[in-house]
Copies of this chain bind each other. A is one copy, B any other.
Amino acid sequence: MRDRECKYLQDFAEEPAGEREMLGSWMKLAAALVLGLTAFGPLHAGTLEVSSPDGNITVAVSDEGGHATYTVSYGGEVVMEPARLGLLFADHHGFEDGLEIRGTADVTTTDETWEQPWGERRLVRNHYNELRVGFIPKEGPARAMVVAFRVFDTGLGFRYELLPTEALAGDIRITDELTQFSIGGDADAWWTPSRQFNRYEYIYRTGKAAVVDDAHTPVTFRQPNGLHISIHEAALVDYSGMSLLALRPGSFEAELRAGSDGIKVHTKAPFKSPWRTIQIAPDAPGLINSDIILNLNEPNKLGDVSWVEPGKYVGIWWAMHIRERTWGNDGIHGATTEETKRYIDFAAEHGFSGVLVEGWNIGWDGDWFNNGELFNFTQAYPDFDIEELGAYALSKGVRLIGHHETSGNIANYEAQMEDAFDLYERVGVRQVKTGYVADAGDLVRYDDDGVKQYEWHDSQFQVGHHLRVVEAAAKRKISINAHEPVKDTGLRRTYPNWMTREGARGMEFNAWGTPPNPPEHISILAYTRMLSGPMDFTPGIFNLRPNEKPPVREDMQRGDASNRPQTTLAKQLALYVVLYSPLQMAADLPEHYEERMDAFQFIKDVEADWEDSIALQGEVGEYVAIARQGRESKEWFLGAVTDATPRELLIPLDFLEEGKSYTAQIYRDGANAHWDTNPYDYVIEEMQVTSASKLDAALASSGGIAVRFVPN
């Protein structure tokens, strides 16, 4: 019987999530098996363990007191106290107490390397030990829940799998996921609140874990012993997003986003939840040097994706944010044929592959924020000739980058989506930036009764919408860059055309945000939001005080003097290395770049696709230094940024190839640079280095350094 159970659990593990329909007769078998199980004493009452390949991390899974719990140790010390696991349902008996561990205690090892079509590194090692723990309740109808644990050297993931039995037949409505995370109130925390209007777009909060009430993931902690822990999730498909809700100070419970009907997740057995991930590292850079989010996603489902093209782009975008142009067609319309040609010419001249154009389509002139149905995704404004511009761009070796702002009206967008992508495909567009500007919880759909309902950006509904968009786009060889998206959970592995997204406070807040992103923003982003995946932050603002210019029109008042990037210019360059995105914008206006072509050279040189990436040094909220090797050139690049505190970093260049010499092209803060008083003080210099060299990087207040290493 033990073998049969084992086989049963293994079979289930292999079952692709989407093949529920094929499982009709399998359910009967499974039910019989589970019923059989209950006739035997528990195989593994007590505790099962699984450790990381290097032995540092151990997860102990227990059914003590009838509760499913897990405990995490690092280096032999318990670092996450026992925390509950479980699921509750609306109509079915759940998995909560009276639980017994059943099934195999075998730990299996996987060690494989796979290749990313694009990414922060080409080759990704997927090396983990797996333990699958079956929990069966002693009371109520026979049913089973498997919790699968995968433990890597850099953390762990676990997910729930529901086995199909009579007791779990029919539609399952999940009302609560009991997953808990024990961090400890004394840990330092960096987080954004999860229940407010602005989706993920908050200045990060810094404080003790004890004062965190609710938090979006990734949320990052540093325990008093210096251990860094970041909680997130992987492979969020057909489920709602998880945030953390304080259960007790420093102890958190998973909060699933409820749908408009109040139900958190609608599903059926068999099913698998997203992976709950716990990254663990002795130092802050260790969090960045982990691939567990990607590794816990399914492989590429799209086949040949050579049409997914990483690259750099410019666009008609910042001009609207600094109130020089408008999205709507009112005399200073940004998206005109003429202006777009100017950007195409600039892109072609300086080696950019794309030109984003926002405000090209009908819908921007009314109260679009509250009326997403105004948007027409196939009809351009009269002064924007999309067919001509598509051809013009291609003739210059550039492509238009499309734009679909939905204002959160999902119903309106989905109704037009196929036609919209057809249009873009026809004019040569390969990438579309989507937008969901709407208060969190205000995404519009209509239910079967025609009643307007509102959903959150991380609801099960919106999770599904994003994949519908990604799949519709893939049919046209179009890639997606989603703004105001659901958070990234590594689905770019499975859908490589879902290239990048926003999902945090980006550059735009520096144009009008009150307050703008503070000096420490990037030094927190790198260890929180960026752990989830690429971000279209849109770096590279060269005119650091855009609001000092007079308004271009009486009704176009700019923000006040506080609205500006709170960085030095050198830090703007460093962002291209520090913040990973396969689509990297040079966000400023061409005329601003033309004023400083020496510094602009770095943006021209830097790549957007990488052979490898290494986080070198840093502390959360203080500074971060990252090196990346270009996928195409194999040249190394380095970026480092600091918060408001100036610092001198001594960075060993041991990532360079041993025995080779390089010319380091250095873009750094000048001696008197300071983000507020002297942001334009930068120095460009060259230096000869080898892998034995150390780079002495002096960073000004909110400064940075960007380096290109050219092999001699």
B-contacting residues of A (Cβ < 8 Å)?
Answer: 88-94, 96, 173, 175-176, 193, 195-198, 213-214, 245-248, 258-264, 439, 447, 449-454
Main secondary structure on A side of the interface with B: loop
Residues of B within 8 A of A197 (CB): 246-248
**Contacting pair A175 B261 (CB below 8 A):** yes
Contacts A88-B454, A451-B91; is A258 near B262 (CB within 8 Å)?
A: yes
**Contacting pair B451 A93 (CB below 8 A):** yes
Q: Which one, B173, B258, B439, B453, contacts A258 given CB within 8 A? A: B258
The answer for the CA separation of A91 and B176 in the assembled complex, in Å, is 23
Q: Which one, B91, B96, B247, B453, contacts A449 given CB within 8 A? A: B91
Residues of B within 8 A of A259 (CB): 262
The answer for the CA separation of A449 and B450 in the assembled complex, in Å, is 30
**Contacting pair B176 A195 (CB below 8 A):** no
4 additional contacts, CB 8 Å, given A90-B261, A91-B449?
A92-B449, A92-B451, A258-B258, A261-B262
The answer for the CA separation of A329 and B260 in the assembled complex, in Å, is 49
Residues of B within 8 A of A91 (CB): 447, 449, 451
Shortest A583–chain B CB gap in Å is: 30
Q: Which residue of B lies closest to A97 (CB)?
A: B370
**Contacting pair A94 B451 (CB below 8 A):** yes
Shortest A254–chain B CB gap in Å is: 13
Q: Which residue of B lies closest to A440 (CB)?
A: B247
The answer for the CA separation of A263 and B92 in the assembled complex, in Å, is 17
Chosen A-B contacts, 25 in total, with CB atoms closer than 8 Å, are A89-B451, A90-B260, A90-B262, A90-B451, A91-B447, A91-B451, A93-B451, A94-B451, A94-B452, A96-B452, A175-B261, A195-B213, A195-B214, A196-B213, A196-B247, A197-B246, A197-B248, A198-B248, A214-B214, A247-B439, A258-B262, A261-B262, A261-B263, A262-B262, A262-B263
Q: Which residue of B lies closest to A249 (CB)?
A: B196
The answer for the CA separation of A90 and B439 in the assembled complex, in Å, is 20
How many copies of the polypeptide does the oligomer hold? 2
Residues of B within 8 A of A453 (CB): 88, 175
Residues of B within 8 A of A449 (CB): 91-92
Q: Which one, B90, B92, B213, contacts A193 given CB within 8 A? A: B213
Q: Which one, B195, B447, B450, B452, contacts A245 given CB within 8 A? A: B195
The answer for the CA separation of A623 and B329 in the assembled complex, in Å, is 59
The answer for the CA separation of A246 and B196 in the assembled complex, in Å, is 6
Residues of B within 8 A of A447 (CB): 91
The answer for the CA separation of A451 and B143 in the assembled complex, in Å, is 14
Residues of B within 8 A of A258 (CB): 258, 262
Shortest A282–chain B CB gap in Å is: 30
Q: Which residue of B lies closest to A367 (CB)?
A: B65
Q: Which residue of B lies closest to A205 (CB)?
A: B211
The answer for the CA separation of A262 and B264 in the assembled complex, in Å, is 8
The answer for the CA separation of A193 and B247 in the assembled complex, in Å, is 12
Shortest A260–chain B CB gap in Å is: 6
The answer for the CA separation of A246 and B194 in the assembled complex, in Å, is 11
Residues of B within 8 A of A88 (CB): 453-454
Residues of B within 8 A of A173 (CB): 262
The answer for the CA separation of A449 and B196 in the assembled complex, in Å, is 35
Residues of B within 8 A of A198 (CB): 248
**Contacting pair B451 A176 (CB below 8 A):** no
The answer for the CA separation of A233 and B639 in the assembled complex, in Å, is 54
Shortest A145–chain B CB gap in Å is: 15
Q: Which residue of B lies closest to A261 (CB)?
A: B90
Q: Which residue of B lies closest to A67 (CB)?
A: B370
Shortest A428–chain B CB gap in Å is: 39
Residues of B within 8 A of A452 (CB): 93-94, 96
The answer for the CA separation of A175 and B452 in the assembled complex, in Å, is 12
The answer for the CA separation of A389 and B40 in the assembled complex, in Å, is 51
The 6 nearest A-B residue pairs measured at CB = A262-B262, A262-B263, A197-B247, A193-B213, A93-B451, A196-B246
Q: Which residue of B lies closest to A89 (CB)?
A: B451
Residues of B within 8 A of A451 (CB): 89-94
The answer for the CA separation of A183 and B248 in the assembled complex, in Å, is 29
Shortest A86–chain B CB gap in Å is: 12
Residues of B within 8 A of A454 (CB): 88, 176
Q: Which residue of B lies closest to A258 (CB)?
A: B262
Residues of B within 8 A of A262 (CB): 90, 173, 175, 258-259, 261-264
Shortest A162–chain B CB gap in Å is: 15
The answer for the CA separation of A173 and B173 in the assembled complex, in Å, is 17
Shortest A420–chain B CB gap in Å is: 26
Residues of B within 8 A of A450 (CB): 93
Residues of B within 8 A of A193 (CB): 213
The answer for the CA separation of A258 and B264 in the assembled complex, in Å, is 12
Shortest A614–chain B CB gap in Å is: 37
Residues of B within 8 A of A93 (CB): 450-452
Shortest A249–chain B CB gap in Å is: 9
The answer for the CA separation of A91 and B450 in the assembled complex, in Å, is 9
Shortest A204–chain B CB gap in Å is: 14
The answer for the CA separation of A261 and B174 in the assembled complex, in Å, is 9
The answer for the CA separation of A353 and B89 in the assembled complex, in Å, is 48
Q: Which residue of B lies closest to A211 (CB)?
A: B205
The answer for the CA separation of A259 and B214 in the assembled complex, in Å, is 20
Q: Which residue of B lies closest to A441 (CB)?
A: B176
The answer for the CA separation of A666 and B195 in the assembled complex, in Å, is 50
Q: Which residue of B lies closest to A448 (CB)?
A: B91
Shortest A139–chain B CB gap in Å is: 10
Shortest A305–chain B CB gap in Å is: 38
Q: Which residue of B lies closest to A264 (CB)?
A: B262
**Contacting pair B175 A260 (CB below 8 A):** yes
Shortest A598–chain B CB gap in Å is: 41
The answer for the CA separation of A198 and B198 in the assembled complex, in Å, is 27
The answer for the CA separation of A261 and B263 in the assembled complex, in Å, is 7
The answer for the CA separation of A196 and B93 in the assembled complex, in Å, is 25
The answer for the CA separation of A259 and B259 in the assembled complex, in Å, is 14
Residues of B within 8 A of A176 (CB): 454
